[in-house]
Amino acid sequence: MSESRRDDDDGEPESRLERFEEEAEEAAERLVEGYEEAIDRVLPPHLRARAWAQRRRSTHVIWQAAVLLLGFGLVFAGIAMLVLPGPGWATIILGLIVLASEYAWARRLLDPVRRWAKKAADAALDPRTRTRNLIIGAIIVAVLVAAGTWYVLAFGFTLRPVTDLLPW
């Protein structure tokens, strides 16, 4: 038997079509492996992890559940930080960004927030607005320093006048 002809499991020689199909499958597998390696080299780590998760349905579902839990966890923590100490609005926006990485509804919800943030950043960087805010801040600091100086000159370094006003 020549080297170009191989035997099947049944002992019968393979046809040219069967050999061609096998070679095509092997080439396709090599192509997919090469594509996955190229993705791993080019993408940043978070997109690499997402691409890895999307290769199988089970890992993709787990990935989406993790994004959902993390995003809503950040949103709820941000809501709690609105009344507790912490950066509440920043955490809420971060939670929306995490959710928007995987869900279209969160992207639509994040669009007005981005527009609002852009408008606020532009207003904060406007020279006239910055000058006005600096002047208002300087006036507030000057008033607080004057009030503190008057208090120390009038009463000394004691809190007795303040504690006498308290009911207990």
Give pLDDT tens digits for 98-154: 999 888 999 998 889 889 888 888 887 888 888 898 999 999 999 999 999 999 998
Reply yes or no on whether the pLDDT at 157 is more than 90: no
pTM value? Answer: 0.50
Reply yes or no on whether the pLDDT at 30 is more than 80: no
Residue 152, domain extent: 127-165
Q: Within this chain, do residues 77 and 50 fall inside the same structural domain, yes or no?
A: yes
Give me the helices (H) in 82-126, please: 88-100, 104-125
Q: Within this chain, do residues 94 and 151 fall inside the same structural domain, yes or no?
A: no
Q: State the residue for tokens 């089970």.
A: 58
Indicate the range of 7-11, 139-143, 154-158 predicted with least confidence: 7-11
Q: Within this chain, do residues 85 and 138 fall inside the same structural domain, yes or no?
A: no
Q: Within this chain, do residues 132 and 113 fall inside the same structural domain, yes or no?
A: no
* Chain CA centroid to CA 29, Å: 34
Q: Within this chain, do residues 72 and 104 fall inside the same structural domain, yes or no?
A: yes
Instruction: Provide the mean pLDDT of the chain.
Output: 83
For residue 93, being part of any structural domain is answered with: yes
For residue 139, being part of any structural domain is answered with: yes
Q: How many domains does the chain have?
A: 2
For residue 73, being part of any structural domain is answered with: yes
Q: From CA 88, how far away is CA 79, in angstroms rounded?
A: 6
Q: Within this chain, do residues 101 and 48 fall inside the same structural domain, yes or no?
A: yes
For residue 107, being part of any structural domain is answered with: yes
Q: Within this chain, do residues 113 and 150 fall inside the same structural domain, yes or no?
A: no
Q: From CA 155, how far away is CA 147, in angstroms rounded?
A: 12
For residue 23, being part of any structural domain is answered with: no
Task: Give the residue among 68, 73, 77, 57 at the shortest CA–CA distance from 101.
Answer: 68
Q: Within this chain, do residues 119 and 47 fall inside the same structural domain, yes or no?
A: yes
For residue 5, being part of any structural domain is answered with: no
